Structure 1
C-alpha cells in the first residue's frame, strides 16, 4: 500500500482515485484554489459535482490549506492540474515535495521559448525545483486514451505510465493496475509526453467537418464527411510522429496509446472538437472564443498557440523545413489570425506520390 497525494481535484485526477483506492492505497485529493466547491461537495456528500459520481469512501478530500501536511508523508504525489496551471503547480510542489518522492503527472501540454525551443510539462515543473531536490525526485507521467468518466465507471481503459526509471514506472503502474485499468510502461518519457501534448492540436481540427455539414444543412444526410476527417487525422498522425522525433523521442511511440490512440479518443468529442465545429460553420475563431465558448478551457487551442507559434522561429533557425507541419501551421493561422477554413491539402503527405 502507498500514500498518494493528488494536487488538483479535476475529473481526471479524481477518476484515477478509483483504481488507486481499490488497490488498497491511501488516496488524498487536495483541491487547488479553484477547486473549493469540488472539495466541499466531496467532503459533504462524497460526490464530485463535475463527474456526477461518488468517490470511493476511502478517498479523502482536503482544501489547499492542508496541502503541506497531506503531501509531506506521501509516497507518490500526483499533479492533476490542467496545463494552464502548470506554473502555479510548479511553485507549489517545489516547496512541498520531499527527497525520494515520486511525482506522477496527468497534465498535458508544452511550453516554448522565444526561439521556438519546446519543453514538455514535467520539465516545466522541474524548472521550479531546487536542482538538488529535482535530482532526488522521480519524474513520471500517465498518457493514453482515457476519458475520465469512463475510467471512473470502470470501463476498460488502456494507458501508458512513462518515466525515466523503469523500476519506478513499474512500481507506479502496480499501484493503479486493475482488471479494468490496463497499464503498460515505457521509459520513452519525452516521446510519450510529446505525443500527449501534440494530439490536442489535431483534436481541434476534428470538429471542422461537423461544422461544415451544419453550415450546409446536411448534418442529417446519409453521406457525411468521413473522408475529410480521415485525411485530417492521417496528416495529424504524421505530424505527431514527426514532433516526437523532433523532441528526441522514439517516433514509433506515436503509433501506440500515447500517440494515435490518444489522438483518436480526443478527436471523438469534447470542448476542442466543439470549438472546431464552430469554425467549420464559418465563424472566426476569435468570435468563437469570445462569444460561443467564453471562459471555456480549451487545451487543444492552447497547444496550437504554443506549438504552432514555435514553428516560425524553428523554421527561421533552420531546425525544421518550411514544408514541415503544414496542418499545425494552418491551425495556428486559424486560431491566431482568424484565417479562413481553407485546408492546405496540397501540402499534406509530403513525399507521397
Structure 2
C-alpha cells in the first residue's frame, strides 16, 4: 500500500482520490487556504461539497496547518492547485517535500520570461522554489489528457497519460491509479505532454465563439448551426498546439494523442473558458466579460492566452518564431488584452497548405 498526498482538495484532486483509494492506497487530501470549507465538509460529513459525492474510505482530509503531518512518510505527492497558485505551491512544497518522494503534477499552464518571452512549464517553475539538492532527489511527473473531474469521480471511462523522465517511476505511479475505468498510459515525452496540456486551454476559449455568434444573430435555435466555423477553429488550434510542442522541444506527434488534441477536444466541449468565449462571440468586449459577467471566475484558458500570447511578441523579435506563425493565438491575445473585435484572421490560417 502506498501513501498519496494531494495538496489542493478541489474537484480534480479529490476525483483522483477515487481510483487510488479503490486500489487500496491511503490518500491524504490537504486543503489550501481557499479550501477550508471543503475540508470541513469532508471531515464532518465525508462529502465533497462541489463534487456532491462522498469520498471513499481510506481518504482523509487535512487543513493546511496540518500539512506537515500529512506529508510525513508519503510516497507520492500531487499538486491540485490551479496555475494561478503555482508560486504559492512552490513555496509550500519547498518546506514539505522530502527526498525520494515522487511528485505528480495535476496543475497545467506556463510562465514566460518578461524580457525574452522564453516559456517555462509549471513543474519547472515549481522546482525553482526548492533547494537544488532536494529537487534532484524528487521524481518529477505529471498527468495529462482529457479528464473531467466529475466524470472520473463517478467512474466514467477516462483515458490519460502519466508523463515523466523515468519509465520505472511512471509505471509505478500508473499502477497506483489504474482501474477498469481509469486507463493510464505512460510516456517519457514530459515536455511534449505538458506543453500540450498547457496550450490546449488557449483554444478552448475560441471554442465558444460560434455559439456566441449564433446568439448575437438570434439564430441559437436555428436548424443550421456553426459546426463548420468551430471545426476550422479547432483544426487551426490543433496545428498551433503541435507547433508549440515542437517549439518547446517535445515530440510533435504527442500533440496528436491524449495529451494534445484529445485534451483540447474535451476542454472545448464546455466549461468556464468556453462560456467566456461565447460571451465574446455575442459582441461583449472581453474586459466587460472579465469584470462584470464572469467577475472572480478562474479562467485558465485566458491566463494561458495572456502568458503565451504575450510571449509571442519577444519570441518573434528575437527570430525564434516567424511573424506568420501562431495566427490564432496572436488573435486571441488581441481579444483578451486589447478588446479587439471578433474579426477572425481566416486568411492567415493554414498557410503551409498553399
User: Shorter-chain TM-score: which interval?
Assistant: over 0.9
1:112 maps to: 112
Q: Counterpart of 2:52? A: 52
Mapped pair 1:76 → 2:76 = yes
Which secondary structure does the structure 1 equivalent of 2:276 belong to? helix
2:6 maps to 1:6: yes
Corresponding residue of 2:291: 290
Q: What's 2:261 paired with?
A: 260
Aligned runs of 1:1-353 on 2, under 5 Å? 1-114=1-114, 115-353=116-354
Cα distance between partner residues in 2 of 1:59 and 1:132 = 31
Q: Give unmatched runs, 5+ long, in structure 1.
A: none
Deviations 1:142-180 (A, max 9, x none): 000000000000000000000011110110000000000
2:160 is paired with a residue whose SS is: strand
CA–CA distance in 2 between the matches of 1:351 and 1:311? 19
Cα distance in 2 for partners of 1:174, 1:47 equals 26
Deviation, structure 1 residue 2: 0.4
C-alpha RMSD of matched pairs (Å): 0.5
Whole-Å separation in 2 of the counterparts to 1:228 and 1:334: 18
Where 1:351 maps in the other structure, the secondary structure is helix
Quick one: distance in 2 between partners of 1:306 and 1:10?
A: 24
**What secondary structure does 1:51 align onto?**
coil
Query: How big is the shift at 1:286?
Result: 0.1
Q: C-alpha separation between the residues in 2 aligned to 1:323 and 1:158? A: 35
TM-score by length of 2: 0.99
Q: Deviations over 1:269-313 (max 9, x none)?
A: 000000000000000000000000000000000000000000000
Name the SS for the 2:228 alignment partner: helix
Secondary structure, aligned partner of 1:224:
coil
Shift of 1:36: 0.1
Maintained 8 Å contact 1:28/1:61: yes
Provide the rounded CA distance (Å) in 1 between the counterparts of 2:23 and 2:74: 16
Instruction: State the shift of 1:57 in Å.
Output: 2.2
- C-alpha distance in 1, partners of 2:128/2:208? 35
TM-score scaled to structure 1, two decimals? Answer: 1.00
Report SS of the residue matched to 1:145. coil
Q: CA deviation at 1:72?
A: 2.0
Offset of residue 94 of structure 1: 1.0
Q: Structure 2 CA distance, aligned partners of 1:197 and 1:352?
A: 26
Rounded Cα–Cα distance in structure 2 between residues aligned with 1:350 and 1:181:
39
Structure 2, gaps ≥5 residues long: none
| Pairwise CA distance, 1:69 | 1.2
Q: For the Cα contact (< 8 Å) 2:21–2:57, is it kept in 1?
A: no
For the 8 Å contact 1:46–1:57, the answer to whether it is kept is no
Instruction: Count residues in correspondence.
Output: 353
1:350, distance to aligned residue in structure 2 (A) = 1.2
1:164-221 C-alpha deviation (Å, 9 max, x unpaired): 1111011000000000000000000000000000000000000000000011111111
